Structure 1
Amino acid sequence: MIEIKKSIFEFDTKTVVTIGIGAALYGVLGLFGFPIAPNTNIKPAVALLSIFAALFGPVVGFLVGFIGHALTDMIAGWGIWWGWVLSSAIMGFFMGLVYNYKEFSVKNGIATKRHYIYMIFTGTIGIIIAFVFAGAFDVMFMSEPANKIVIQVVGAIVSNLIVFLALGIPTILGLVNVNKKNSNLELDK
């Protein structure tokens, strides 16, 4: 049975719980990474953000990224860096835009090459916008030195693109393929 997609602004109990679980997972997984630049890590949590965004849409992606990154900052104890928290929210939003694309559904196993190209394009644009925003925010409002921020921004863009393209997209493709096989099942009468 094909499930009808909900509006991206419909917040029922299931959506709120999904945001809570996604944010908690993203927040805890955000503590783990491999350093590549000053205060910048390759974080596998980005793949999780792309999965939640593709499954539930840009608003859920935004909120999972925002709340999850704020949790990471609070748990780590370095204070909340709002520019970077908003960067995760922006990434989640752009990664979830594919949800609105006609006839795309991870849950129903429906995706074409055009959907994947769109997902890669919007996710890449979102990552670039997110971290340019975070860097500009740090320079303008947090008095961070611009030369350090440039290194952080470039490192964040590259590392997040790697995780998005190498882990996020293939996982979404795998979920679509698994659900495609399951959606063809019929009941014997």
Structure 2
Amino acid sequence: MIKIDTKTIVTIGVAAALYGALGFVGIPIGPNTQLKPAIALLAIFSALFGPLVGFSMGFLGHMLTDMIAGWGIWWGWVASSGIMGLFMGLVFKCKKFSIKDGLCNKFHVSYLVITGMIGIILAFIFAAGFDVVVMGEPLDKMKIQVALAIFTNAIVFLGVGVPTILGFVRANKKNNGLKIEE
């Protein structure tokens, strides 16, 4: 079941604010598309706290970015950030996986990479479809934008997010056996 307690709500709020603020940082690479380090943060929080936090962080954080930027809320893209966070957080539900306890094996890494990539692909296909059908965007523009978004988000997820998660696992594995001496 989904556990929603005060810690979860606070984590969602802080994570969404961080994701929203970091959403303004990026390197432009195409039409309305940037290489954004916020995706690595989304992967880290999602793996640490699970799919509910991942979805909420992505959705609320992206909505916050759109609202502050003043270009209006692009709901397809807002939802796409939520979808990515949800899929990146699925590894949290795996047995014997815990970043906090330093527990992770090859299956967990493969699962994180596969579900994260599925989430990225599905998210941007959804965003493009939404933009074409609901927002009236041209299909040719969306094809380019989606291809670039999938490529850049995959680079950040695989090149920064996953290695950072594994670094946290390694650091916590080393600290697992600490004992307090009197």
Task: Check whether TM > 0.5.
Answer: yes
Q: Which letter maps to 1:157?
A: I
Q: What's the counterpart of residue 110 of structure 2?
A: 117
Residue 188 of structure 1 deviates from its aligned partner by 2.5
SS of alignment partner, residue 175 of structure 2: helix
> Which residue does the alignment assign to 2:42?
49
Structure 1 segments of 4+ aligned residues over 3 angstroms from their partners:
none
Partners in 2 of 1:186 and 1:111 — Cα distance? 22
* TM score, norm. by length of structure 2: 0.98
Query: What is residue 71 of structure 1 aligned with on the other side?
Result: 64
Question: Unpaired runs of 5+ in structure 1?
Answer: 1-6
Aligned counterparts of 1:184 and 1:127: Cα–Cα separation in 2: 36
- Counterpart CA distance in 2 for 1:115 and 1:96 is 12
* Counterpart residue number, 2:13: 20
Say whether residues 1:144 and 2:126 are aligned partners.
Answer: no
Looking at structure 1, the residues matched to 158 and 35 of structure 2 have their Cα atoms a distance apart, in angstroms, of: 13
Equivalent AA in structure 1 for residue 176 of structure 2:
S
Q: Scaled by the length of structure 1, what TM-score is found?
A: 0.95
1:89 aligns to what?
A: 82
**Structure 2 residue aligned with 1:135:** 128
1:135-159 deviation per Cα after TM superposition (whole angstroms, max 9, x unaligned) = 0000000000000011110010000
- Equivalent pairs: percent with the same residue? 62
SS at match of 1:188: coil
Aligned to 1:178: 171
1:11 is paired with a residue of what secondary structure?
Answer: coil
Matched residues, number: 182
From 23, 29, 34, give the equivalent of 2:22.
29
Query: C-alpha separation between the residues in 1 aligned to 2:100 and 2:127?
Result: 32
Q: CA deviation at 1:28?
A: 0.5
In the aligned structure 2, how far is the partner of 1:59 from the partner of 1:166?
24
Where structure 2 has 5 or more consecutive residues not aligned to the other structure, the ranges are none
Instruction: Give the C-alpha shift of residue 12 in structure 1.
Output: 1.2
Partner Cα distance (2:125, 2:148) in 1: 11
1:168 to 2:161 alignment: yes
